[in-house]
Amino acid sequence: MKIYHNPRCSKSRCAVDWLKENDIDFEVVEYLKNPLSKDELQQILIQLNIPASALVRKSEDEYIRFIKDEVLSEDEILDLMVKFPKLIERPIVIGDTFAVIARPLENLVEKLKKNN
């Protein structure tokens, strides 16, 4: 299992703590330190079964500057998320048979219940 994590985000830290407390093996991917490629991000979107626009954090300055009042294609939004990884919603947890945005944490808990 992988968690795409931003240690400065309380929701992301909460998900990491919950996984540890429940003895679940996982790999942490700090996507701000190690930015995702466009291909990696596209694969995550496929696993989540959502468009790029649904993965964008709308509270970020980059969203307000580059996306908010624009009509952009999904590909253009994806390019912006690659260029500005802070735009990517977090945390994202990818398991063998599921993918989920673990915000709120209950999303992750429910996915794990359904997949066990």
**23 φ, ψ to 5°?**
50, 45
Average pLDDT, the chain: 95
- Residue 67: exposed, middle, or buried by beta-carbon count in 10 A (0-12, 13-18, 19+)? buried
Tokens of 52: 């790029």
Count CB atoms within 10 A of the CB of residue 47: 14
9 catalytic per annotation: yes
Give the pLDDT mean for 50-76.
Answer: 93
Q: Give me the count of residues in the chain.
A: 116
Tokens of 51: 């468009």
Catalytic pick among 3, 9, 77, 81: 9
Architecture of domain 2-114: 3-Layer(aba) Sandwich (3.40)
List the chain domain ranges: 2-114
Beta bridge partner(s), residue 4: 29, 92
Residues of the chain with pLDDT > 90, as a percent, come to 90
The predicted pLDDT at position 102 comes to 97
